[in-house]
Amino acid sequence: MSQVSIFLSSCWWNYFNLDKEKVIQYLSPIAGSKPGWYLWLKKRQGVYELILNDVNSRKDVEISSFIVKYYPLPEEEVFERYATQEQIVRLSNYFDDSPIKQPRKERQNGCPCSHLHYADDNKFQRVKGLPKLHHREKMNPSLFTIGLIKFYFQGKESRLLKVKLISQDTLVEYSNDGIILEKDGTLIEVVKPGSLDRSIPAWEICWDLYDLLIKDIFAQMGKFPKESKRKIKKGFIYYKDREGVIWSHVCNSVKQIIHDHLF
């Protein structure tokens, strides 16, 4: 097991066993071979996914990267800023929008995945709002992706060196050929050729999770950053054709943001 997996598992366990008000309402591991979790935050209507992308070693430093995804609720304002394909998938039977069952006595339960951690102060019912287990593998892995979080651990002592968030202020995608959908036997042009199809405020959504990890989750483990650095540069605008081929170019109108916390 990677150092980051052990560290994060310990973080969750410690967090949900502390007697304090919690910003995370629910947390559930994602079934599969890669470590990952779904997180329901109080300030967001949708669901975050944090899942391991890869682990590499550089000398005695383990570098791991986690993909950040966000699944909005259809009634959430940001939903309209997701790509047409993402909206269609989110509204399909690929997703489970049934209510989360709230156990009263046990701190863990098998809903919606397994070992559901929950905050005792939950007062409002929430829906799962996540992909069904047997549909996850069918989904294009790029869908709903909004950023990347990297962890750097050193040596056998698993000393946390750095945590890095990489995203863009806005994830912009244009449809090169346009998008036509069929409804009740009628073809409807929902996106004109060359028009904007995706405009997600990715950094804002990522930061809500990342800031929580740094200031609350890691702090409970005695991990406090000594320094933080932010680098802003030109971002990428993406173009997609009807075959699903995506290409990009650097553009001044969007910004890629890289934020490091050093421990």
pLDDT digits (tens, 9 = 90+) for 117-159: 666 555 567 899 999 999 998 999 999 999 999 999 998 889 9
User: CA 98, CA 60: separation in Å to the nearest integer?
Assistant: 45
User: CA 58, CA 177: separation in Å to the nearest integer?
Assistant: 43
Q: Please compute the mean of the pLDDT values over residues 56-62 and round it to a whole number.
A: 93
- Position 123 scores a pLDDT of 59
* Backbone angles phi and psi of 90, in degrees to 5: -65, -30
User: CA 250, CA 235: separation in Å to the nearest integer?
Assistant: 6
Q: Please compute the mean of the pLDDT values over residues 92-118 and round it to a whole number.
A: 66
- Position 156 scores a pLDDT of 84
CB 23 within 8 A of CB 39: no
Q: Is the pLDDT of residue 112 over 50?
A: no
Q: Is the pLDDT of residue 102 over 80?
A: no
Please write the tens of the pLDDT for every residue from 150-206: 999 998 889 999 999 999 999 999 999 999 998 888 999 999 999 999 999 999 999
User: CA 247, CA 251: separation in Å to the nearest integer?
Assistant: 13
Q: Is the pLDDT of residue 86 over 50?
A: yes
Nearest residue to 30 via CA among 38, 19, 22, 21: 38
Please write the tens of the pLDDT for every residue from 4-26: 999 999 999 999 888 888 899 89
- Position 37 scores a pLDDT of 96
- Position 113 scores a pLDDT of 43
Please write the tens of the pLDDT for every residue from 219-238: 999 999 999 999 999 999 99
Nearest residue to 128 via CA among 149, 99, 148: 99
User: CA 124, CA 144: separation in Å to the nearest integer?
Assistant: 25
Query: Strand pairing of 47-58 and 36-41?
Result: antiparallel
In the chain, the amino acid numbered 38 is Y
User: CA 7, CA 214: separation in Å to the nearest integer?
Assistant: 13
Q: Please compute the mean of the pLDDT values over residues 52-73 and round it to a whole number.
A: 96
Instruction: Using a pLDDT cut of 90, give the percent of the chain over it.
Output: 76
User: CA 49, CA 40: separation in Å to the nearest integer?
Assistant: 9
- Position 242 scores a pLDDT of 85
**What do you get for the CA distance between the two ends of the chain, in Å?**
22
- Position 70 scores a pLDDT of 98
- Position 108 scores a pLDDT of 44
Residue 35: CB atoms within 10 A of its CB come to 20
